[in-house]
């Protein structure tokens, strides 16, 4: 097996920050090579150097590609030689068709320079077949789910005769079925001689698919592991990523559970646009002060819809049911009323709904608690800055200044800003929707520690998560949700992944019998 890529002593500096320091990466032709590291370690920066997003001359070091020294001054330069990068934030236009997205910038022209749409759609259909996607090429991309959009990005890469495919967190937003389909596709492409580099925090997927794994920490190369070696374990990867052993993935906590903080009864929510479709059906659950309650369910079970509808009716219509706070019924008709009642909701989509990415950290932290900082309509800027600095220290937000733009932070640090925003509102009940999605194991541990601090202070925390081991590791009780209905409640001491999965698929199995 020959080497297709050799990156030597790559150093990349931004104002005040050295993102990469003498990083080395060697990739063999036809292999699937994983890159691991904590958020902010420099993984994406390295791939942007490789793909020409950061052009030659803006970094130090050398890139050897396909046996020759290479200097890429733009993405077009790297794509011209067969290097294609698919970023974590998919770059598709929702209002254009699948075929139009695949050939955007690479249009299939016919006579007179006009686009040959028949040829475009025909070729797009062939590419969709290669990635295993049975969709009409004329379908608008916005009508498709994230899993299918990820496959369209790969089809787009194949249209450019890709030799080296780079995928940045390709399964972060996918369910288990779509993730497995994507991994199968990478194996299939490997069989066709296409080399892949995959950045991922999902160590189980890396162990399953990668031939070798390079670990980066604090902008430096730590080591490259041969994944066929029995010593290349997940624990070894974690130690390389965080610089220490995480003997316990979940911090220990001694529960001190108090009185009931929140109770929801007979909660029913209808879809906002599909008339007659019930999304949440008679759901009931409760959480106590000092308790972490988990909500488990498959994709589409209604977990996020349940949370958003409770939090100020920010999802759905014709909502019925009752909400009790410390035993007294409360009415929540808006987000501001939810906040006034001491309820907070940290969304699963921090980039779209949780943060203002073009605003600084200070403003993001204060956004939901401005009444605490204002008088007669004026915000006390000095106090706002002081509060932001306190949260930067207590939440260990890695940034040189709270005046830094929040969109420039790593995923884990962005999540800490989201949590800071809601903790500052002094909420009694915090609903955390996928609080560790897309962040590394070290940052996850810090989030779990923050959750423990909250419940130790008497807060009630509800965690929605797709990762059953996570729920088993941090919760006191777990409710299961299937097709909008609560199907079970299990104390964590009696819970297992098998038991939870049984409850999460309960109605589905019953439907099969009927």
Q: What is the per-residue pLDDT across 313-333, written as a single tens digit (0 to 9) for each? A: 989 999 999 999 999 999 999
pLDDT band at 247 (very low <50, low <70, confident <90, very high): low
pLDDT band at 512 (very low <50, low <70, confident <90, very high): very low
CATH 3.40.50.300 residue spans of the chain: 3-242, 256-340+463-514
Residue 152: name the closest of 173, 180, 124 by CA.
124
Please compute the mean of the pLDDT values over residues 77-90 and round it to a whole number: 88
Helices (H), 311-439: 335-340, 361-366, 381-394, 411-423
β-strand partners of 375: 378
What pLDDT sits at residue 193?
93
Give yes or no for residue 508 having a pLDDT over 50: no
Between the alpha carbon of residue 28 and those of residues 162, 235, 324, 346, the distances in Å are 15, 25, 59, 42
Q: What is the per-residue pLDDT across 380-406, written as a single tens digit (0 to 9) for each? A: 999 999 999 999 999 989 888 999 999
CB 292 within 8 A of CB 463: yes
- CATH number of this structure's domain 256-340+463-514: 3.40.50.300
What pLDDT sits at residue 348?
85
What pLDDT sits at residue 1?
65
Burial class (CB in 10 A: 0-12, 13-18, 19+), 459: buried
pTM over 0.85: no
Please tell us whether the domain made up of 3-242 is placed in CATH 3.40.50.300.
yes
DSSP 15-44: TTEEEEEEEEEEEETT-EEEEE--TTSSHH
**Of 134-138, 260-264, 415-419, 466-470, which has the strongest mean pLDDT?**
260-264
pLDDT band at 214 (very low <50, low <70, confident <90, very high): very high
pLDDT above 70: percentage of residues in the chain: 96
**Of 130-134, 279-283, 392-396, which has the strongest mean pLDDT?**
279-283
What pLDDT sits at residue 509?
41
Give yes or no for residue 49 having a pLDDT over 60: yes
CA dihedral 394, 354, 46, 70 (to 10 degrees): -160
Q: Which of 71-80, 153-162, 237-246, 480-489 has the lowest mean pLDDT?
A: 237-246
Q: What is the per-residue pLDDT across 52-67, written as a single tens digit (0 to 9) for each? A: 999 999 999 999 999 9
Burial class (CB in 10 A: 0-12, 13-18, 19+), 229: exposed
What pLDDT sits at residue 514?
38
What pLDDT sits at residue 467?
83
């Amino acid at each position: 097996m020959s080497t297709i890529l050799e990156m030597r002593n790559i150093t990349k500096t931004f104002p005040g920050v050295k993102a990469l320091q003498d990083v080395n990466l060697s990739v063999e032709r036809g292999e699937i090579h994983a890159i691991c590291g904590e958020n902010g370690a420099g993984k994406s920066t390295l791939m942007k150097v490789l793909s020409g997003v950061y052009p030659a001359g803006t970094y130090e070091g050398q890139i050897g590609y396909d046996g020759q020294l290479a200097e890429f001054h733009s993405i077009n330069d790297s794509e011209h030689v067969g290097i294609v990068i698919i970023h974590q934030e998919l770059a598709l236009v929702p209002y254009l068709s699948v075929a139009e997205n695949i050939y955007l910038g690479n249009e299939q022209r016919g006579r007179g320079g006009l686009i040959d749409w028949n040829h475009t759609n025909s070729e797009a259909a062939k590419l969709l077949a290669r990635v295993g996607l049975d969709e009409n090429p004329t379908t608008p991309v916005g009508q498709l789910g994230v899993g299918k959009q990820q496959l369209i990005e790969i089809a787009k890469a194949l249209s450019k005769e890709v030799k080296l495919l780079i995928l940045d967190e390709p399964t972060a937003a996918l369910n288990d079925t779509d993730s497995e389909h994507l991994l199968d596709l990478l194996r299939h492409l490997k069989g066709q001689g296409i080399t892949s580099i995959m950045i991922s925090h999902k160590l189980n997927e890396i162990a399953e698919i990668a031939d070798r794994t390079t670990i980066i920490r604090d902008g430096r190369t730590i080591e490259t592991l041969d994944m066929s070696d029995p010593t290349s374990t997940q624990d070894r990867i974690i130690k390389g990523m965080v610089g220490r052993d995480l003997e316990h993935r979940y911090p220990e906590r001694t529960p001190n559970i108090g009185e009931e903080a929140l109770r929801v009864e007979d909660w029913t929510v209808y879809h906002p646009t599909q008339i007659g479709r019930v999304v949440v059906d008679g759901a009931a659950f409760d959480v106590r002060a000092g308790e972490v309650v988990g909500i488990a369910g498959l994709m589409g079970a209604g977990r996020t819809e349940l949370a958003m509808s409770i939090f100020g009716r920010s999802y759905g219509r014709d909502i019925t049911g009752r909400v009790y706070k410390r035993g007294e019924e409360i009415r929540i008709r808006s987000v501001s009323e939810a906040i006034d009642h001491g309820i907070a909701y940290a969304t699963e989509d921090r980039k779209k709904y949780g943060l203002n990415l073009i605003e600084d950290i200070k403003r993001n932290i204060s956004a939901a608690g401005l009444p605490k900082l204002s008088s007669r309509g004026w915000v006390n800027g000095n106090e706002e800055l002081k509060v932001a600095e306190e949260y930067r220290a207590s939440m260990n937000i890695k940034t040189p200044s709270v005046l830094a733009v929040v969109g420039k932070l790593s995923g884990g640090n962005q999540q800490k800003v989201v949590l800071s925003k809601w903790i500052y509102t002094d909420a009694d009940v915090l609903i955390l929707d996928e609080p560790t999605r897309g962040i590394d194991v070290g940052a996850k541990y810090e989030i779990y520690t923050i959750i423990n601090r909250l419940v130790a202070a008497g807060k009630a925390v509800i965690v929605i998560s797709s990762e059953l081991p996570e729920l088993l590791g941090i919760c006191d009780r777990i409710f299961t949700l299937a097709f909008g209905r609560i199907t079970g409640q299990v104390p964590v001491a009696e819970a297992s992944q098998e038991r939870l999965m049984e409850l999460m698929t309960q109605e589905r199995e019953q439907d099969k019998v009927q």
